[in-house]
Structure 1
Amino acid sequence: MPETDLLSRALEDPSDPAPRSLPEQVSALLRALAAPPRLAAHLRLVHDVACELADWLAEFSPALTFDREAVLFGAATHDIGKTVHTDELSGPGSAHEPAGRELLLAHGFTAARSRFAATHADWSASGVSVEELLVSLADKVWKGKRVTGLEDLLIDHLVRAAPGTARWEAYLALDASLARIAEGADARLAFQAAYPVRA
């Protein structure tokens, strides 16, 4: 099957349960870049998990304001630099992070939106935003990975936003949400593995 067909399938696959579709502007960019099908599948999965996290956060902590659309865009594009550094699709590396930010900027996206490509792996930086934490968290928990330090930073935000909320209460609520999301990790990993790194 030609790579363009595989890319289209990764972006549109309606399998059950199907991950949510990427924002149209992101799908169009991935097509224009002839992105590897595996990357498109991965971005779709992380975007889907970010939607779940954003929904949970809005319900659990309505006092904590955040830019939902920025989170979803960030999750949908966080690894876009791997269209340049394709070796990092199947191996370690961080060259895709600054490359992704530069690629998004070059395609007319704002610095505020483009930053997620560069910051999704560095949640411990000073002044990290709730939006950046959510993108980083989605990029971990989609495959069932839990990162205590990352989760603790989000709990800090939850407690600060609602002073009457006990830390243990925020922890238990986040833990339950992440555990529920992690239960679908095997299906998500299988969905991603169905698409090749290269056609």
Structure 2
Amino acid sequence: MPSSALRRALTDTGEPPLRPLPDEVSELLEELAAPPRLAAHLRAVHDVAWSLADWLEKHHPEVGFDREAALFGAAVHDIGKTIHREELSGPGSAHEQAGYELLVSQGIDANRARFARTHAAWGADVGIEDLLVSIADKVWKAKRVTDLEQLLVDRLAVASGQPPWEVFLTLDDLLDRIAAAADGRLAFQASHPVDG
């Protein structure tokens, strides 16, 4: 049975209100006795990824992407921190490969598990879904990463035929709106204990 602190992190509404994680992910976090703060973080990033996916579908319907995979990826990207708990409150990247291996060991397809590895190491060879997860993992706390955002702009400009500056303007507007609510998401995360 999950701790009451973990259950609260998975179910509290938050301010701004955060969407719940997919049931599959909540059940996995409960099974792993995940730290409540990790569950809160995953909810914040998942919620932002949802907004990014909505924007992409509305503004770039010509771009084919796997919305479900991106949302799943956002919901599990840091799951390796159930193993490397020291990385919940400090730097480190050991959770990335560990998260991938953990997900695969739990029967998650390697293609879906990849987000545990790709969320912090983006490049020209990653998919749109990976870029959405990476951006969500930054902008949820109002961090903007120019190189990362430019990768997405370039992909969308090629796919849509729009000039990159035009793509950038609409994306920048969205990211500014998301970043404006960062204090609420940060407070939500901080209100949940590292140990539960």
1:157-182 per-position Cα deviation (integer Å, ceiling 9, x unaligned): 1111111x111100101000000000
CA RMSD of aligned residues (A): 1.2
Partners of 2:183 and 2:16 lie apart in 1 by: 12
Counterpart AA for 1:4: S
1:157 maps to: 155
The separation in 2 between residues aligned to 1:14 and 1:175, in whole angstroms, is: 27
Q: Percent identity?
A: 62
Measured after TM superposition, the shift of residue 127 of structure 1 is: 1.1
Whether the 8 Å CA contact 1:26–1:76 is kept in 2: the answer is yes
Give the aligned partner of residue 7 of structure 1.
6
Q: What CA deviation, in whole Å up to 9, does each residue of 1:79-99 have, x standing for no partner?
A: 000000000000000000000
Aligned-partner Cα distance in 1 for 2:140–2:15: 17
1:178 counterpart letter in structure 2: L
1:26 and 2:16 are equivalent in the alignment? no
TM-score, normalisation: structure 1: 0.96
Contact 1:11-1:41 within 8 A present in 2 as well: yes
Q: 2:191 aligns with which of 176, 191, 194?
A: 194
* Deviation (angstroms), 1:15: 3.6
Q: Which runs of 5+ in 1 are unaligned?
A: none
Q: Which digits, 9 at most, give the CA deviation of each residue in 1:11-43, with x for residues without a partner?
A: 000244320000000000000000000000000
- Is contact 1:123-1:132 (8 Å) kept? yes
Alignment of 1:110-121 (within 5 A): 110-121=109-120
1:145 equivalent to 2:135? Answer: no
Aligned residue-pair number: 196
Distance between the aligned counterparts of 1:154 and 1:17, measured in 2? Answer: 26
Aligned to 1:107: 106
